[in-house]
Structure 1
Amino acid sequence: MVTTSYFFFYPYFGCRFVPEKLEDLEEHVTGFFKCLPTIPIICISMLGSDYANLIGEMLLLPSFFPAWILLSRLLANSQPVVMLLPVNLLHEEVQLEDGISDQKFSDVDTGSIKHWHCPWGYTVIDCVLPSYKQLLEENFLLLSNTTFAAADIQMKNASWWSQRTMLNNRLNKLLKSMEISWLGPWACLLLGEHSVPDHIEKLVHKLVSALKSEGRFEINYSLISAIIGGAKSVADAESCINQLLLYKGYFGRGACCGEERFRAFSAVAQTGLATEFIHDLVKEALAEYAEQVAREPVIIVLDSDVQMLPWENLPILRSQEVYRMPSVSSIFLTLDKSCSHHKRDSGFGTIIPAVDPLNAYYLLNPSGDLNDTQLEFEQWFRNQELEGKAGNLPDTKELIMALQNHDLFLYFGHGSGTQYIPEKEVQKLHQCAATLLMGCSSGSLLHRGCYAPQGAPLSYLFAGSPSVIANLWDVTDKDIDRFGKALLKSWLHEELDALNNSPRDGPNRIASFMSQARDSCKLPMLIGASPVCYGVPTVIWKKSQS
């Protein structure tokens, strides 16, 4: 028997081969980095339990952290960046009236109350962010179990909206706390690239040279460039640089812990802090950047323990163009497979898929009970001369043909639509439209124990869809309709000037205006943060204008 390699199996995305011989490893790694697109890939993993204990023991830390974030930044023609960040339990300060008590459902027959089933079971996130699961459960209960008697409908409706607004505000605070506590100044590593003037590049080179002389260890140019290009302030940039000097570039820290908790591992006492020369270089470099700089998109790769969180809505990413994928290998395969249909230059060096938003098929209110949604979209879709069905259900064969023969598939109904188009049928396709799934939890992935998460978005990607926009949790129809309408209008250029508040280089893409579409919602966090974009950057391209 002859064996040439071992492999790891990625659900939906084939195998990743690893060399059997050590001498072949260098060639394999070199090939991996050559395949990287010119789009930053940000990998985020959460290490808890035994891993957290091991890290604490290795670093000889005086106190325990329940988890650590392993953050990697990969980019073609650049040295990879890897940072280890401690994670502490985030407590949510919620007033008694902010939560949902049993009294809120006094009008509901307790025997008919629906219960929320957590799609991920239990992961390390529940140890460090338990309030997130509670928030989603309260959201579900408000949407599924509230009924109003005719006599007091006005009062109950006001109370319902008050609770929804509180949930919206709580989610907003939770995401801000995540960024400040867990990432701190290192949140800059999540941002996309932007054009760097030559004189700024020279300043970064000077800074790297100065740090090498100060720190007596290898300085990663890509890391310093990301800090200077993404830091919110001189203070944040200096905080990152000071931590690099103190901890020899091994790890950093957010606001969840003070310097004293890492003192045992500090490379130096105070002599490692940035000199005045370094301070001046940082200040000069950051002064050159405009507050609102146009950035290229990023792709975040989230491990199964953190994929349920809306990372795209952290304050630093909220206005950015973000895509998510289940693995780095899946990015390679999706770019390769989806570009075989239509492709265009991205404007930043990588050939990416392209879709024509007018070559679309819609499945609108197939269950027949979302009358407001049908009223909102049906005539508008007809005005755009789109193909599709509204208020009734075509057979599965017609839907499969629509996915295969159109550039864009629009679904406005309950759930992810798998009750009409089974995932197994989707996975059989060799070509698939970009997809908008606007039902409740259409983008939620089911995580069963040690098995990889599964869900409708992954099935569409496997079938060749370049991108899938779907919801992480349950939403209300009218507010998600606002999001969908705003996004579709941005693709069709009807309100491009109104939506495009910042300068943008290159062609418009599927997720270019998701931030503005989120803000069109009445509850921009509770509803607007639910839609995320799985896939790779995909150009919006009208064939009629070619």
Structure 2
Amino acid sequence: MEDFDIFTNEINYTKPLYTNILNKFVKEVPVAPFSANYESARKLQAEECLKDNDDLTCAFHLSEAVSSSVRTLAAYRDEQIKIGNDKLHMIKSHIKPVQEILKMNTGTQNETELLDLPIDLDKITKILKKYEISDDEPLHKTYLKFTPENNVDDFQKILKELPKEWTIVQLTTPYNPNENLKPLNDYRTEIDSIYITVLTNDYLDDSVGPFTVVVPANVVKEGEKPLFTELYSLLEDNYKTIENAQLLNNKRLVRNYWSRREDIDLRMKSVINTMDRAWLGGWGCLLTGRLQDPKWRDRVREIVDSTITDWGFIRLTKKQRVLLYNLIESSPQLSSTQIKTCLRKILTENGNPDDVREVLDTSDCIHCTVEFNLLTELCVKCLANSFKSIHHFSLVDGIKAFSQAATLVGQSDEWADLKKAKRHPVILIVDEMLDTFPWECLPLLNTHPVSRMENLHFIYYLYKVHEKNIVDGYYLSKADEGRYVINPEKNLSRMERRMVSFVQYWCPQWSGTVGEPAAPEDSDFFLYCGHGDGGQLSAPAPPAPAPPALLAGCGSCRVARRAPRAPPAVSAHHYHIATSPIVIGMLWEVTDLEVDKVVTSLLSLCVPSTAPVPWDQVGKARWGDGQLDTNVEKKSDFKPEPLLLSAVARARRSTSYVMIASSVVARGIPVRVVEGTGGS
């Protein structure tokens, strides 16, 4: 974007100055903007919309505010492909502006002199017509770029077009000006709230679309470390412990190593517990997937609507209703305190600000003023008084009414099966500043099929690319022909023996390389077992198109930032750009034996096999030597899991270490592994 003078007549001074600057920025955004500035501007725009009670536009701006650098990479790759397919593409792109001037036939004197156009315009027009570039690109490609197609209308169109089975929720950090002033290690802990934006949900319809709630973050008890500080601290300790493991040379050091591992594991349990109870609380209900059986949804609607009618909640907004539906539906897995705290916020802080302004009297309050933007700016007393004036009964009674409904759903026998009811997949769009947290391990989500994606743009891109192979919200993928790269750096010998013995036993039809790097070839599935994601070897690089991939190395799915304002990067970005539907990997440093347990458990659940004994019942006393004992008695029936995200959730249970289980994430769209048919 070119510099502009903020003191010119182009600024409308009837609105706040920075709002106009933001509007100018997002309307004149360059083709490939600097991602950090672009995302900051979009967050500020979203916050302005939130203040104006405009949830739809707020959600649109927040959707633009995450992982924009990946969109630039995708646009660059698309341009390189065009150049590769058409050697004149670059020339045509430079000719295009001339064509537009000729078509308009309104070029200025300076433009005409600059182009040095000949007198016979008809002749030159005919010549240039041979080099026209077609702009007829599908929306899933143009929406990836920074074009006029990135607007609220297309945003809504995309959400309606995506599979109805998907629940899509975005977690975003607020704008922080210190990102321009401080080192990354300092400002990454300065997060006091997050925006939870529900883009698709079982209770949303044409009358109520995407909405955002503000949830306090970094909430801890007195004397404890702030949550972000503790997470980064324990990950640093985890890295040092694993890195120094190779130096252990006596029993005392070995005992100390295992003691540190146990301590780190307990600390991660505490982080997850704090996320669940002191941070998200009842708002975790917004992250759950749609119930497969619609009768549960209808019953939840009925009990909430009956409570609203019976108690006479005369001015609840549609957004408040949807929030209540989600909370009551999740009440069997929430504590009474979580439910009541969330109810108070739903009934007050998420109401209609205009209704509150009509009845608000702050004359006796030393904390609040009449002028406010968000209801969260008001104290509990003023909110309670406003609620009573609007609904004609106290906030305590209002909370009691829905608490009774929650108790009925959570404890009565007729609702007992709700807690175990199967759900459709959840796709979390996680802000890069929040991506390190193990969201999938929250109690409300740890049995759900959950994946992460960079942004809505890539969800839609992968959906449209694979649309023909998506049935009931799942991409159908074969796993008959797999490729693998195991121990390419030749320094994980026990891992090599374990993984080779597994592959030969469970999927002998797969092929690959052991002890040397190799790029993945065309296949149904790709497995990498080694250090990191393999990028340090310049291989494996995802082919085009790329298959589903499992990268079993330390930090193989970690979002890394090399500098305070440098775009974050993760191997999954390149796989998604190459149209891989899903990539599974690790968020941080892990140990090979425990990861081998998770990886083999995952593959044995989702990859069909003719092996005589289920993998979980195979004897593994000498697995590190590459030897398996199949002369065992079958203990129970084996239940495969063709839904890849559900298999990931089950595979996490194969290790007793929380640090290992919580490191495993899936990035992509939901995948169902089918036998012999479907897939690409």
Q: Relative contact order, CA 8 A, sep 6+: which one is greater?
A: 1
Q: For residue 157 of structure 1, what is the aligned residue in structure 2?
A: 254
Q: For residue 283 of structure 2, what is the aligned residue in structure 1?
A: 186
Q: For residue 47 of structure 2, what is the aligned residue in structure 1?
A: none
Q: CA deviation at 1:148?
A: 5.2
Q: CA deviation at 1:344?
A: 4.4
**Structure 1 stretch displaced more, 194-203 or 371-380:** 194-203
Q: CA deviation at 1:185?
A: 1.3
Q: Which residues of 2 match residues 310-329 of structure 1 at below 5 A?
A: 310-329=438-457
Verify: 1:474 aligned to 2:573, yes or no: no
Distance in 2 between residues matched to 1:166 and 1:467, nearest whole Å:
33
Q: For residue 424 of structure 2, what is the aligned residue in structure 1?
A: 296
Distance in 2 between residues matched to 1:484 and 1:506, nearest whole Å:
15
CA displacement 1:87-131 (0-9 Å, x = unmatched): 24547978xxxxxxxxxxxxxxxxxxxxxxxxxxxxxxx975111
Distance in 2 between residues matched to 1:261 and 1:66, nearest whole Å:
21
Q: For residue 46 of structure 1, what is the aligned residue in structure 2?
A: 173
Q: For residue 393 of structure 1, what is the aligned residue in structure 2?
A: 516
Distance in 1 between residues matched to 2:659 and 2:174, nearest whole Å:
27
CA displacement 1:2-33 (0-9 Å, x = unmatched): xx996775244445378869xx9664343233
Q: Structure 1 residues 93, 282: CA separation in 2 closer, same or farther (over 3 Å shift)? A: closer
Distance in 2 between residues matched to 1:312 and 1:392, nearest whole Å:
33
Q: CA deviation at 1:444?
A: 1.0
- Write the letter of the residue equivalent to 1:388: S
Q: CA deviation at 1:220?
A: 4.2
Q: Which residues of 2 match residues 479-490 of structure 1 at below 5 A?
A: 479-490=594-605
Q: For residue 205 of structure 1, what is the aligned residue in structure 2?
A: 305
Q: For residue 431 of structure 1, what is the aligned residue in structure 2?
A: 545
**Structure 1 stretch displaced more, 7-16 or 509-518:** 7-16
Match of 1:364 among 456, 474, 486: 486
**Structure 1 stretch displaced more, 186-195 or 307-316:** 307-316
CA displacement 1:145-168 (0-9 Å, x = unmatched): 245565xx2232122111101101
Distance in 2 between residues matched to 1:268 and 1:50, nearest whole Å:
35
Q: CA deviation at 1:207?
A: 3.8
Greater per-residue strand proportion: 1
Q: Structure 1, unaligned stretches of length 5 or more?
A: 53-64, 95-125, 252-257, 499-504
Q: For residue 528 of structure 1, what is the aligned residue in structure 2?
A: 661
Q: Structure 1 residues 176, 199: CA separation in 2 closer, same or farther (over 3 Å shift)? A: closer
Verify: 1:35 aligned to 2:161, yes or no: yes
Q: Which residues of 2 match residues 405-484 of structure 1 at below 5 A?
A: 405-422=522-539, 426=542, 429-447=543-561, 448-484=563-599
Conserved 8 A contact 1:238-1:274 = no
Match of 1:72 among 180, 191, 197: 197
Conserved 8 A contact 1:66-1:127 = no
Distance in 2 between residues matched to 1:421 and 1:209, nearest whole Å:
63
SS in 1 for 2:512: strand
- TM-score normalised per structure 1: 0.76
- Write the letter of the residue equivalent to 2:294: V
Q: Which residues of 2 match residues 85-100 of structure 1 at below 5 A?
A: 85-90=215-220
**Residues matched between the structures, number:** 469
Q: CA deviation at 1:437?
A: 0.3
SS in 2 for 1:307: coil
Distance in 2 between residues matched to 1:210 and 1:458, nearest whole Å:
51
Q: For residue 237 of structure 2, what is the aligned residue in structure 1?
A: 138
Q: For residue 351 of structure 2, what is the aligned residue in structure 1?
A: 249
Distance in 2 between residues matched to 1:32 and 1:224, nearest whole Å:
26
Q: For residue 477 of structure 2, what is the aligned residue in structure 1?
A: 355
Verify: 1:83 aligned to 2:213, yes or no: yes
- Write the letter of the residue equivalent to 1:358: D
Q: Structure 2, unaligned stretches of length 5 or more?
A: 1-26, 32-63, 76-141, 180-189, 354-375, 618-638
Match of 1:537 among 649, 653, 670: 670
Conserved 8 A contact 1:212-1:218 = no
Q: CA deviation at 1:43?
A: 0.4
Q: CA deviation at 1:467?
A: 0.6
**Structure 1 stretch displaced more, 459-468 or 153-162:** 153-162
Distance in 1 between residues matched to 2:156 and 2:387, nearest whole Å:
35
- Write the letter of the residue equivalent to 2:671: T
Q: CA deviation at 1:322?
A: 0.9
Greater per-residue helix proportion: 2
**Structure 1 stretch displaced more, 141-150 or 155-164:** 141-150
Match of 1:177 among 274, 279, 295: 274
Q: Which of the two has higher C-alpha Rg?
A: 2
Q: Structure 1 residues 226, 317: CA separation in 2 closer, same or farther (over 3 Å shift)? A: same
- Write the letter of the residue equivalent to 1:36: L
Distance in 2 between residues matched to 1:241 and 1:472, nearest whole Å:
34
Q: Structure 1 residues 507, 369: CA separation in 2 closer, same or farther (over 3 Å shift)? A: closer
Q: Structure 1 residues 211, 385: CA separation in 2 closer, same or farther (over 3 Å shift)? A: farther
Distance in 2 between residues matched to 1:541 and 1:529, nearest whole Å:
27
Q: CA deviation at 1:415?
A: 0.9
Q: Structure 1 residues 289, 74: CA separation in 2 closer, same or farther (over 3 Å shift)? A: farther
SS in 2 for 1:268: helix
CA displacement 1:42-71 (0-9 Å, x = unmatched): 10012264599xxxxxxxxxxxx9621100
- Write the letter of the residue equivalent to 1:329: H
Q: Structure 1 residues 218, 279: CA separation in 2 closer, same or farther (over 3 Å shift)? A: same
Q: CA deviation at 1:303?
A: 1.0
Q: CA deviation at 1:482?
A: 0.7
CA displacement 1:419-464 (0-9 Å, x = unmatched): 33458x53xx431110000011111122243343212111111111
Q: For residue 508 of structure 1, what is the aligned residue in structure 2?
A: 642
